[in-house]
Amino acid sequence: MKETVIPKIRQETRRVKIVFELKKDLQEDEVICEHCHGTGLEIADNVYGISGDTAHVGVRFPYKNQSLTFCKYCFNGVMRKCPSCGSLRGKQDRECSCGYAYNIRQEARDYDRKERWEKAEKIPSWKAWEDFKCLYIDDIDEYVFNEDELDDLIEEYELENPRIYGTVELGIQIDAADVIENACGGLHEDAIEQCNAKSLQAVLDEWGKKQSGATTYVPYYKVGVLMAASEAKA
């Protein structure tokens, strides 16, 4: 059976009066933390329990060893105010929950996307299908491989003036020189020079072309595709 303990706890308190002055150079959106009055400090309880303690039942850490710790609401006694809604940002909140920072980022992203579209050379969709195997719909981050797929998605997402781009096809590429260097690692000094890299490269290229499952398409932002409707509008 476990030994039962009734601890003898001596509770002492100290009232500490410290007077000091703190100077803070605050930026426009900064205010002194109201929780710690700018000290950057708060009282931590530092709770603990005593093994076998029978004086407290059901309370795991009934005792305290209070001391000072860093304020949990601020950094260095200063809090930041959200420039949009004015609410104070806690230490844990990297940005305000009103979405201000997110919206700013979103606006910047939208601007970049718009600029990218404006800069792209525009071709009609019939030409795009001649030039590209796959097209990219920027608005919804989707790749399409034929006209029907494209039309379906435009309809499904009700895209009015979709920003569609050509794509670049990426396949497996293995460099013959790398392979030879690797293979000649343990051979005599001039072994590399004795190998025909050109003929190996031809074999590797041929092999790479056949690995169609690995083919990857990435957007080619230099060419934008105009759909019939937006062509009429343009």
> Exactly one of 98, 174, 203, 228 binds Zn ion (CB under 5 A); which one?
98
Q: How far is CA 39 from CA 13, 18, 29, 69, 89, in A?
A: 21, 11, 18, 11, 17
Within 10 Å of residue 65's Cβ, how many Cβ atoms?
Answer: 9
Smallest gap from Cβ 100 to Zn ion, in A, equals 5
Which of 32, 35, 90, 205 is in the footprint of Zn ion by CB under 5 A? 35
The answer to whether the CB of 156 falls within 8 A of the CB of 126 is: no
Total of chain residues touching Zn ion, rule CB under 5 A: 12
Applying the rule CB under 5 A, the residues between 50 and 89 that interact with Zn ion are: 71, 73-74, 82, 84-85
Q: How many angstroms separate the CA atoms of 178 and 170, rounded?
A: 19
CA 205/CA 203 separation, integer angstroms? 5
Closer residue to Zn ion in complex, CB, 104/229: 104
Smaller CB separation from Zn ion, 35 or 127: 35
Would you say 35 or 116 has its CB closer to Zn ion?
Answer: 35
Least distance to Zn ion from the beta carbon of 141, Å? 28
Smallest distance from the beta carbon of 225 to Zn ion, in angstroms?
39
- Our CB check for Zn ion shows the closer of 21 and 155 to be 21
Nearer to Zn ion, 29 or 118 (CB): 29
CB of 99 to Zn ion, least distance (A): 7
End-to-end CA gap in the chain: 87
176 binds Zn ion (CB under 5 A): no
Distance of closest approach, residue 76 Cβ to Zn ion, in angstroms: 8
Strand ranges, E, within 1-149: 30-32, 41-44, 67-70, 78-81, 88-89, 121-124, 135-137, 142-144
Q: Show contacts of 174-179: CB within 8 Å, 24+ apart.
A: 174/204, 174/207, 174/208, 175/201, 175/204, 176/200, 176/201, 176/204, 179/204
- The answer to whether 45 and 66 are in contact (CB under 8 A) is yes
Q: Which span (28-36, 104-112, 127-135, 222-230) binds Zn ion, by CB under 5 A?
A: 28-36
Min dist CB 150 to Zn ion, Å, is 40
Nearer to Zn ion, 33 or 150 (CB): 33
Least distance to Zn ion, CB of residue 22, Å? 12
What are the residues binding Zn ion (CB under 5 A)? 33, 35-36, 71, 73-74, 82, 84-85, 96, 98, 100
